[in-house]
Every structure is written in structure tokens, then in C-alpha cells.
Amino acid sequence: MEKSSAQTRDWIATARTLSEALPYLQRYDGATIVIKLGGHAMGSAAAMDEFARDVVLMKQCNVHPVVVHGGGPMINDMLKRLAISSSFVDGKRVTDEATVEVVEMVLSGRINKGIVAAINRQGGKAVGLSGKDASLMVCEKDLGGGGVDLGFVGKPVEMHPEVLRIFLGSDFIPVVAPLGVGRRGETYNVNGDTAAGAIAAAMKADRLLLLTDVAGVKDAAGVVLTDLTAEEARGLIASGVISGGMIPKTETALAAVEGGVTAAVILDGRAPHAVLLELFTAHGAGTLIRS
């Protein structure tokens, strides 16, 4: 009897959660959500399956996810196996001709199709693309802040999101590898966060979700800030409160918001069902940045 009562309470709690999600489901009905997948969510098969299930649920609820992924650790592993040396300048990989071939192989092949397969296993219909498809992401060489030649590292300068918009009115979920194409057809390696921000801005997405392995943006006392305006975020960067690896993520969020995205969220991807928590409950899992 006790077990039956406990089960009943669990079912009631589940029903209450679903009921409380209604206003959020209505809020995001038909919305485009660009998700940068990285960190913990790509670290294990179990985490990937959980993420894939959440994305399929979003699509089932008429929310349109566009998944953009990274893959630095997998690229490092493959370069090491092939005995190809690799170096970094200001956190960006120096990408010569041999390296960019490996980068494309890993990102568009192993990683992209792995994510596609994970979503399909959960009953979704995922399609793998890269920024090269239909000239989605046209790039120029990224010389970095110091004008250093990083090789085939690109920055998006022209976006053609029409191919992604085709999927919004369908059952398909696009999964995009962060590769761009140059004006002469050359392949460029693009930072995953940068690619996700550029795609979100080009699509005027309702949300850009940047999955990370941190709780969010913190104030000087180490407390996570759940909501920031663009002006407040710039002030925290200028004062040094936002520092290190959080600076480029915050700048990506700011660029997306300035480009027309309603809001960007630096999201703790370690939290179970982080994407669903952020979209469909009153309890977020990171820092929301808005204009």
C-alpha cells in the first residue's frame, strides 16, 4: 500500500509539472531555438541520449531546434592518432591544410553523424549539415586580435540560412557542423560558439542556448546571475568580473542579441534536462542575456 501511495504521488507530481509547463509551451509555440551543443552533453553516450530525447520532445511540442555542435577534444584525439601537431593562439587552433582536412572529417563525419544518430534513436528525424551546405556560412580568414595568420580559421561574414528555414516547417531537426566556406570554395574551421551565434542571428531566433560546463555568469561574489541586460554584461567584462573563457561566450551572446536574437542563455549543460528546464519551467539553468 505504501509503495502504491508513493507511486501515486510521483504520478501526480509528474502531472503537475506537465500542467505548469503549459504557459511556456504556449510561449515557445513555433519558436526557433538555436542550441550550441558542447561540453558535458557530448561527454558520454548517456548524456547524449538525454540531450537527444529533450530535443525530440521540443520538436514534438512545435518548438524548432537547430543544433550546432563543437568537437575540440575529438579533433585533438584524431590529430594525435595521425601524428599531426597542432597549436593554439588565443584559444584558437592554428589550422593548416592538413589539419583542416582532419577537422572537417571529424566534425562533419564522426561527431555530426553521431548526434544525428542519437536524435534518430529517440524517434526524431535529424539531418546533418555543415556551414558549407548551400553556402550557409560564408567566411573570411580570421586573423585574430593580433593579426596572426591562423590558417584555415574563419569568421562568418555572410549568412544564407534559407536551407535551415526549410526544416522549420517540417519534422526534420537540422544538426550543423561549424565549418564555413570561403569565396573561392576553401574550407574554414569556425569556433562552435561563433557559428551558433551567427546562425541564431541570421535566423532571428527566439533563443540562443550556449551549453557549457559552468553554472553561468557570476558576479564579483561568485553568485550566478540569472538575468543580465547587454549593458550590464558589457560592464562586467570591462570591470574584469567576467574573465577568461567566459568572455568569448558572453561576447557571442551579446553579438547574437545585437543581431536580432530575442535573448541568449549561457546554460549549465551539466544540469539534467538543462534545455527543458530553461524553456519550459520557471527555473532556468544559467544566465539569460537580453537587449
pTM of this prediction? 0.92
144: left (phi over 0), alpha (psi -120 to 50) or beta: left
- Which three three-digit cell numbers place residue 232? 550590464
Residue tagged 560564408 (cell numbers):
138
In a 3-state reduction of DSSP, which class is residue 158?
Answer: strand
**Which pLDDT belongs to residue 6?**
67
- Rounded Cα distance, 171 and 64, in Å: 9
- 66 and 164 in contact (C-beta within 8 Å)? yes
**Which pLDDT belongs to residue 1?**
45
Low-confidence ranges of the chain (pLDDT < 50): 1
Q: DSSP for 251-273?
A: HHHHHHHHTT-SEEEEEETTSTT
- Rounded Cα distance, 221 and 224, in Å: 9
- 56 and 276 in contact (C-beta within 8 Å)? no
| DSSP annotation of 151 | B
